[in-house]
């Protein structure tokens, strides 16, 4: 049997919670239970990785001290990490005993808070212990108090050993009905890796640098794409231009994915292509980008595109028929 203790206090010498968990640890070890202690104040930079330590635990003790209001930030961070990165299937089989000592008001509320949080996570409850201790010495010297602590440790051992069942809790049903927390669609192993990375400041910094580099790369690709929009089809037309004596014309291609028209000016052996919005074209053509690519890749001719209705034209039809002579595309 293995029990983990997660201590969420500040580690002060006069913290009564420390005395309680030390005494419970002594009793559990006498019962031949393996006990592992995690002091959250010493592990504050790696709290997000701690949910992975739950995988080999049969039971846990969540120990906190109420010093002014509530159970403290370290314990809240640990429970948040369990919610985000913990293996909920494993948690559902782990018993939790809450230990909350107070030097001010609020120990009962703190104990209840831990119990409710663990039940919402899906875990199993154990009878916990809480108390108001103004002076730690009075706790250490009172044998009746010590017997209560020892009895709680024995009860926890008995609960884990017998796997005592518990009745369903209403907060489980309410959580399923109204919870809006987005589930992280990861395996437990991936969640463990994610929690490790989240606490690695060096890894986070490298990720930020990688994101900046990728941003610059995609910005460059977008700029290149914008330049391609200004040169699309021009190189193909120039590469397949066949001069035809006596033909002088201005062709205006309106291609559906281009904001500007592709202007093709032919004058015998000369040919110029550019994107713009000029007036006075001899032939005006409206064509889809797919049809235009079929023509360039020799899957279709200008004449066939016109006859099939894939290309709409107006102007001089004699000059339209000349397109297949001026531009010869071959497979």
Residue whose tokens read 């990490």: 81
Q: Are 257 and 293 in contact (CB under 8 A)?
A: no
* pLDDT value of position 226: 45
Q: Are 298 and 209 in contact (CB under 8 A)?
A: no
* pLDDT value of position 229: 57
Q: What is the pLDDT of residues 215-271, one digit of tens each?
A: 777 766 654 554 455 677 888 888 889 998 888 999 999 888 788 888 999 998 899
Mean of the pLDDT values across residues 295-305? 88
Q: What is the pLDDT confidence band of residue 77, given thresholds at 50, 70 and 90?
A: very high
CA 229 from centre of chain: 34
The three-state (H, E, C) secondary structure of 257-283, written as one string = CCCCEEEEEEECCEEEEEEECCCCCCE
* Backbone dihedral region for residue 11 (phi beyond 0: left; psi -120 to 50: alpha; all else: beta): left
Provide the mean pLDDT of the chain: 86
- 77 and 145 housed in the same domain: yes
Give the whole-number percent of the chain exceeding pLDDT 90. 46
Greater confidence (166 vs 141) lies with 141
Among 137, 166, 181, where does a domain finish? 181
- 54 and 170 housed in the same domain: yes
Separation of alpha carbons 65 and 15, rounded Å: 7
Residue whose tokens read 């290309």: 311
Window from 24-28, 93-97, 167-171, 189-193 with minimum mean pLDDT: 189-193
Mean of the pLDDT values across residues 300-324? 89
E-state strands within 76-146: 95-102, 124-125, 129-132
Residue 184 has pLDDT above 50, yes or no: yes
- What angle is formed at CA 33 by the lines to CA 102 and CA 76, rounded to 5 degrees? 35
* Domain annotation covers residue 15: yes
* Domain annotation covers residue 32: yes
Residue 171 has pLDDT above 90, yes or no: no
Among 181, 216, 250, where does a domain finish? 181
Question: Can you read off the two tokens belonging to residue 250?
Answer: 């201005």
Residue 157 has pLDDT above 90, yes or no: yes
* pLDDT value of position 7: 97
β-bridge mates for residue 129, sequence order: 99
Range of the domain at 316: 234-326
Q: Are 167 and 154 in contact (CB under 8 A)?
A: no
* pLDDT value of position 331: 63
Give the whole-number percent of the chain exceeding pLDDT 70. 86
Q: What is the pLDDT confidence band of residue 186, given thresholds at 50, 70 and 90?
A: low
* Domain annotation covers residue 191: no
* Number of domains composing the chain: 2
The helix/strand/coil state of 31 is coil
* Domain annotation covers residue 215: no
* Domain annotation covers residue 263: yes
Q: What is the pLDDT of residues 16-63, one digit of tens each?
A: 999 999 999 999 999 999 999 999 999 989 999 999 999 999 999 999
* Domain annotation covers residue 26: yes
- 77 and 165 housed in the same domain: yes
Residue 168 has pLDDT above 80, yes or no: no
Q: How far is CA 102 from CA 23, 91, 154, in A?
A: 17, 27, 23
Separation of alpha carbons 148 and 20, rounded Å: 10
Among 181, 206, 222, where does a domain finish? 181
Mean of the pLDDT values across residues 149-166? 92
* pLDDT value of position 51: 94
Residue 179 has pLDDT above 60, yes or no: no
Q: How far is CA 193 from CA 42, 158, 188, in A?
A: 21, 34, 9
- 141 and 24 housed in the same domain: yes
CATH number for the domain harbouring residue 238: 3.30.1050.10
* pLDDT value of position 43: 93
Q: Is 324 exposed, middle or buried (0-12, 13-18, 19+ CB in 10 A)?
A: middle
Mean of the pLDDT values across residues 175-183? 54
């Amino acid at each position: 049997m293995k029990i983990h203790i997660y201590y969420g206090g500040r580690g002060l010498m006069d913290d009564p919670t420390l005395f309680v968990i030390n005494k419970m640890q002594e009793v559990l070890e006498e019962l031949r239970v393996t006990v592992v202690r995690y002091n959250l104040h010493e592990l504050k930079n790696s709290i997000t990785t701690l949910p992975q330590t739950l995988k080999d635990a049969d039971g846990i003790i969540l120990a906190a001290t109420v010093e002014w209001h509530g159970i403290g930030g370290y314990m809240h961070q640990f429970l948040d990490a369990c919610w985000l990165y913990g293996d909920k299937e494993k948690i559902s089989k782990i018993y939790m005993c809450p230990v909350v000592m107070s030097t001010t008001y609020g120990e009962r509320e703190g104990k209840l808070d831990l119990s409710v949080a663990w039940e919402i996570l899906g875990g199993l409850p154990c009878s916990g212990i809480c108390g108001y201790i103004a002076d730690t010495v009075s706790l250490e010297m009172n044998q009746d108090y010590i017997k209560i602590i020892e009895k709680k440790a024995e009860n926890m051992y008995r609960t884990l050993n017998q796997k005592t069942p518990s009745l369903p809790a209403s907060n489980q049903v309410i959580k399923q009905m109204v919870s809006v927390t987005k589930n992280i669609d990861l395996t437990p192993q991936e969640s463990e890796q994610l929690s490790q990375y989240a606490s690695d400041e060096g890894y986070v910094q490298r990720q930020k640098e990688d994101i900046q580099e990728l941003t610059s790369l995609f910005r460059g690709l977008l700029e290149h794409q914008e330049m391609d929009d200004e040169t699309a089809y021009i190189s193909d037309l120039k590469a397949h231009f066949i001069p035809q004596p006596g033909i002088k014309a201005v062709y205006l291609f309106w291609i559906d994915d281009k904001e500007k028209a592709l202007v093709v000016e032919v004058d015998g052996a000369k040919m110029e292509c550019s994107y713009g919005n000029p007036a006075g074209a001899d032939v005006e053509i409206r064509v889809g980008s797919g049809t235009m690519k079929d023509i360039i890749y020799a899957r279709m001719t200008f004449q066939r595109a016109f006859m099939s209705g894939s290309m709409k034209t107006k102007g001089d039809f004699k000059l339209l028929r000349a397109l297949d002579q001026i531009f010869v595309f071959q497979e």
